[in-house]
Amino acid sequence: MKLSLTLSILLLFAGCVSVSMPDGYGTYTYYNGEYSGEWLNGKKNGKGIYRWTKSEWAGDKYEGEFKNDIRHGYGIYTFSDGSIYKGLWKDDLKHGKGLLIYGPESEGVGHKYEGEFKNDIRHGYGIYT
């Protein structure tokens, strides 16, 4: 009997492993991008870089801190339209002080917002120019 198996997801890890889980520094290739950075017990934890290569976020990049597999702490997110967010993240959302500079291919081209964010939206004190 001939068996054929096709996997739609490509996962590849190169780095340190502990108890069959990524641990320490390593690079993991997902179906929609690649993460290089620190791992703890199989989860992104510490500093790292995630680059999206497929999906609606193709061309985007996040460089910063992770906690329990999500963006948490200080990080810089570069959008494919040239916009850049530099600031704090909490539970995978922009949260706290940050600077959002709108890129050349965005609706807010030439503008920037510096101030507070809450749950991924501008909230509280901030200056929009």
DSSP structure string for 53-102: -SSTTTT-EEEEEEETTEEEEEEEEE-TTS-EEEEEEETTEEEEEEEEE-
Convert the pLDDT of each residue in 99-126 to its tens digit.
999 999 988 899 999 999 999 999 999 9
pTM of the predicted model as reported, rounded to 2 decimal places = 0.84
Low-confidence ranges of the chain (pLDDT < 50): 1-10
Contact 40, 26 (CB under 8 A): no
